[in-house]
Structure formats: C-alpha cells, structure tokens
Amino acid sequence: MNSKGRVLSSMLLVSFFLTTLSSLAEEPAKKAPTPIKIEDVKNRQFNQDMQEVGKITAVDSTALTFSASEILQKKYFKDGAYVKKGDLIAALDNTQAKDELRKSQTQYKIEQSKLQRMLALVKKQPDSISKQDLENQQLQTHLAKVDEQQKQDSLSNYELIAPFNGQLTDFKYSIGSRVSDSDTIVSIIQNTPVEVDYSISQEELADAKVGQKVTITVDAYKDKSFTGDVKYIAPLVDQSSGRIDVHAEVENSDKLLVPGMFAKVTERSHDSHTFPIVPQTVIVVDGEQRYVWLYDGKGVTKQAVTLGENTNDGFVAITKGLKAGDHVVVSGQQNLNTNSIVEVENQAKPKLAAQPQPQPQPQPQPTKEKAALKSSPAKQVKGDVTNETA
C-alpha cells in the first residue's frame, strides 16, 4: 500500500473513533433505582373523645356544730380521722343538762304517783274525787312525762355525731373552749366516691350522655388514671359562660383523689369512627399541603391527604386521601419525585423453583445374538487372517 492509502486509512479510523466517542457522550447515564420501604395502610377505630378541665369535689360534705352552748369536754377522734355514720365525734359538758333531766324524771314520778292514788281512790269511792280533778291530774302527769322526754332528748345537743361515712378535717376548738351553737367544730367530707365537676361547650352537648365513661388524670399521679361515669348534665346553659355543667362520679377506693384538685377529664363518646392510619414520619409538608408517597407496584405517586388526630403510638389518622390496603412509602421518601425509579427493599420476592435433576436413562439389555457377536469378533478376525495366509 502506498503512503497516500495509509494516510487515508488512518483518517478514516480517527473519524470513526471520534464519532463513537461523541455518541457515547450524548447517551445519558442510567441512574440507579432509589431504595424505598413500604407498608400497607390499616384502619383504626376512633372514639369522639372530649377533653376538658374539671375540679374534684366531695359527694357530701358538711360543717358540724353543736345544738347547745357549753364547754368542749372531749374529742374522740384526731384531725383527719376517718369516721363512720353514727360515730360520736365530740361532746360538751352536759352536767347541767343531766341535772335538769333528773329533776324532770323526779317530777314525773311524783305526778304519776298522785294519779295512781287518785285512780285507786275513785275505784273504791267513785264520788270521792270529781271528774275535773282527775282529768287535771292526768294532764299534769302527761306534761311531766313530755318534759322528761324533752330533757332526755336535749342531751343529744351536747354530742357531735357523724351524719355519714367520711373523713374529718381539723378541729377548730380545743378541749376546754366554750363554744356556741353556731360555731363550726369540725367538718366531715365523704371522699369515696368523689365527683369531678366540669363544663362542655354547646357544640359538645349532642355527644354528651348520662352514663358515659370518663377518664381523669391529676398532676399528683401523672402515671395513673381514674375512671367514672357521667351522673348529671345541666338542663340549661350557664348564662355567664355559655357552657353546660357536667358532674361525673369517680370511684376513689384508695382515697388518692382529694376534693379541690384540678383534673384533666376525657369524656368518651358512644359514637366511633374508623379512619386509615399511617406513621407520622411519612407525612411530607409542603406549605399548607400535606401528602404521602404511594407505591402502585410500578412506581410512586404523590398523594395529598387530610390529617386527623394523632395517636399516642406514633401514628396519625387520615380523614381524606387514603384507604386501607394502599402501599405507603415509609422510608426513602425524601429522595423521591414523580419520575423516580424505585426498588422496594422490604417487598417479599418470589422464591425460584428448584431445577429438576436429570434422571439416569436405563440402559437396554443386550440380546443373545449381540452378546455372542460381542464375545467372538477376535476369533473371527483371527480365523479370517489365517485362511488368507494359508
């Protein structure tokens, strides 16, 4: 080949090489798929709970006073003690009252004795005593009996009796103090059960019913909750607040709840609703919009959603935009766009069927003729060679 031919061949090779490089540079590089993880959307039932703030009150409480004025003689319980209905709590000095009772008893016996003598005399001599004198004595005897009974009853005015089971507050007077019938000696509070008083809005009235369950918590026992039932819903709206008063009764057998405590009240509605839930971490925020990424088996799409209430276990209810069974992206969503090629990492892959192993083919058994031929060829060849030689 002459020099011109070699130059021409070299130029053609260089041109082909440059053209190939240009086409490779223009071809876009393929991106690796974005790894994601998905979960199936599930439904959960939600109650229409109402959250309010209330105050613990005693079911019964009263200030105890004597019905007489005298010296405080004895206290039978200490401050804060628990008492039962009918227990004697304190007593006044009733010495003078007992003296008055003894006089009344003596006078009654005198009048009764007079009446008995007059009746005995009339029985023997009917005309010895006039009818009017006999009736007057009967009246005097009756009045003496009434006076004795009144003096007997007045002794209870010197005693302080528990009207119901409850806990005492502190005594306001010491032994030896003179108290009057208007002085509060001690108060008694029934705290088993207790009431929690709160109010609801007019919009919540439709969901409130007597007998509904309530759950309350107090700051003193943050890890403990107490349950009760609604016992009263006011039949009218409070004019000053525009709200409706509600009373619920809460068991307090361990006496942890104290009247005067503030309480957080959760009133559970009889009505319930079912919504799909997703982990709170899958929600993507774009200004006022909230959306999630869904996987349809081929790729991902952006789905706008409307959020409901948050749960206490990391999920959020979706009131619009999702349904149970949707495949929501729970990992890798920050790297997605509508054109993303994805690879699901936690999706179960079908198992490959085991390849069947080839079975050995059975060898055909030789016939008698073939076996004879197989065993005699050497001799045959030998005979042929001998004959030829001969």
Q: Which two tokens stand for residue 279?
A: 């982990």
Contact assessment for residue 311 and residue 278, using Cβ atoms and an 8 Å cutoff? no
pLDDT score, position 197? 97
Q: Among residues 228, 282, 218, which one has the least CA distance to residue 256?
A: 218
pTM of the complete model beyond 0.85 = no
Ranked by mean pLDDT, the top range of 124-128, 169-173, 332-336, 346-350 is 169-173
Mean pLDDT in residue range 222-229: 92
Q: How far apart are CA 117 and CA 127, in angstroms?
A: 14
79 has pLDDT over 80: yes
- Tens of pLDDT, residues 143-156: 999 999 999 999 99
Match domain 273-344 to its CATH number in 3.90.1640.10, 2.40.420.20, 3.30.70.990, 3.40.47.10.
2.40.420.20
**Cα(340)–Cα(329) distance, rounded to whole angstroms?**
13
Out of 3.90.1170.50, 2.40.10.340, 2.40.30.170, 3.50.50.60, which CATH number does the structure's domain 189-270 have?
2.40.30.170
Report the share of the chain in percent with pLDDT over 90. 62
pLDDT tens digits, one per residue of 31-45: 788 899 999 999 998
Domain spans in the chain, listed from the N-terminal domain onward: 67-179, 189-270, 273-344
For residue 269, pLDDT over 80 is answered with no
